[in-house]
């Protein structure tokens, strides 16, 4: 029997509806509007399209949106100053720095200017450290969305074997920590893992964030495994595929996220929820 589809598009839609209600209640209580500021260096079409989509979603949620656009040749001091100014501006509750930054800029130095209490993307080392310690933190949105899908569909995590393919600071590594916090036994795989299939076949939950189209195929999975595919890979014909070969995996897995329509739509939902949470914690002090 083919796998159950973990429908991120549908879940993100229902989360957006409840966010709208919660933002309205927040505005009524505090007489303030939560605001997200996005810092973007010009010149990356993919980033520009992403920022347009965030702006649209903020508008429909009732969250104020502010864009700080900097020229492609922006120098480090100017970039640092923009992030510092937003960090100390009380009308801004969440800050998103669009990555990757141009090579001439030191990303770590830019992130260091960010007030971690406004770090709604979970990229500040303070939030990464809090997450590693299992304390309350802003969690990177993509793995948070993957966990929300598992929770929404009632998938048992505690006591199960899980593998995460990929160890980046924004997806793989935080996903592994979140699974550990949810009491799974977790193996982190990466490009030096010698026999990926042997590891995956032992696992009940497989989360993939490698950026390699079709890396994980159905024959590498344990029958009934739950598969979370974070991969976004664009083919020459303009279509999008994940890191999991969906056609073969859907026949073996018990549940699987499609690409598109799985983890992708969840990411923005998590971001906007973080903006509201950040505003609430800043104003309730």
Q: Considering only CA atoms, which of 215, 249, 252, 254 is closest in space to residue 232? A: 215
Distance separating alpha carbons of residues 75 and 198, to the nearest angstrom: 48
| Shortest CB 135 distance to ligand NDP, Å | 23
| Shortest CB 193 distance to ligand NDP, Å | 6
Position among 20, 168, 187, 217 found at the interface with ligand NDP (CB under 6 A) = 168
Return the sign of the alpha-carbon dihedral for residues 148, 152, 155, 159.
positive
The answer to the question of residue 193 lying near ligand NDP (CB under 6 A) is yes
The answer to the question of residue 211 lying near ligand NDP (CB under 6 A) is yes
Return the sign of the alpha-carbon dihedral for residues 79, 82, 85, 90.
negative
Q: Which stretch binds ligand NDP (CB under 6 A): 26-34, 58-66, 150-158, 186-194?
A: 186-194
Can you give the C-alpha Rg of the chain in angstroms? Answer: 19
The answer to the question of residue 267 lying near ligand NDP (CB under 6 A) is yes
Q: Considering only CA atoms, which of 107, 65, 133, 24 is closest in space to residue 271? A: 65
Position among 212, 251, 261, 283 found at the interface with ligand NDP (CB under 6 A) = 212
Nearer to ligand NDP among residue 184 and residue 270 (C-beta): 270
The answer to the question of residue 214 lying near ligand NDP (CB under 6 A) is no
172-181 and 125-132 helices cross at what angle (nearest 10)?
A: 30
Contact (Cβ atoms closer than 8 angstroms) between residue 206 and residue 163: yes
Position among 196, 206, 226, 279 found at the interface with ligand NDP (CB under 6 A) = 196
Q: Which residues bind to ligand NDP, rule: CB under 6 A?
A: 142, 165-168, 170-172, 189-193, 196, 209-212, 215, 230-233, 263-264, 267
């Amino acid at each position: 029997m083919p796998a159950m589809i973990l429908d991120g598009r549908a879940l993100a839609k229902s989360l957006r509806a409840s966010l709208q209600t919660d933002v309205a209640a927040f505005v009524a209580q505090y007489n303030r509007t939560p605001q997200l500021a996005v810092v973007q260096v010009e010149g990356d079409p993919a980033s520009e399209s992403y920022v347009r989509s965030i702006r649209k979603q903020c508008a429909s949620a009732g969250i104020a949106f502010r864009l700080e656009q900097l020229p492609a040749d922006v120098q480090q001091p100017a970039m640092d100053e923009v992030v510092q100014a937003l960090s100390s501006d009380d009308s801004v509750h969440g800050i998103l720095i669009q990555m990757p930054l141009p090579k001439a800029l030191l990303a770590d130095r830019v992130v260091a200017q960010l007030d971690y209490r406004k770090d709604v993307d979970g990229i500040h080392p303070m939030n990464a450290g809090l997450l590693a310690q299992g304390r309350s933190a802003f969690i990177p949105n993509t793995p948070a969305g993957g966990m929300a899908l598992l929770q929404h569909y009632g998938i048992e995590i505690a006591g199960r074997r899980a593998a995460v393919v990929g160890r980046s600071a924004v997806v793989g590594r935080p996903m592994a920590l979140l699974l550990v916090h949810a009491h799974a036994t977790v193996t982190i795989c990466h490009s030096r893992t010698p026999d990926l299939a042997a590891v995956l076949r032992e696992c009940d939950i497989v989360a993939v964030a490698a950026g390699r189209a079709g890396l994980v195929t159905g024959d590498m999975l344990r029958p009934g495994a739950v598969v979370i595919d974070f991969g976004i890979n664009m083919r020459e014909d303009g279509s999008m595929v994940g890191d999991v070969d969906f056609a073969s995996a859907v026949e073996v897995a018990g549940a699987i996220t499609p690409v598109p329509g799985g983890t992708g739509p969840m990411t923005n939902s998590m971001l906007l929820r973080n903006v509201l949470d950040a505003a609430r914690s800043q104003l309730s002090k």
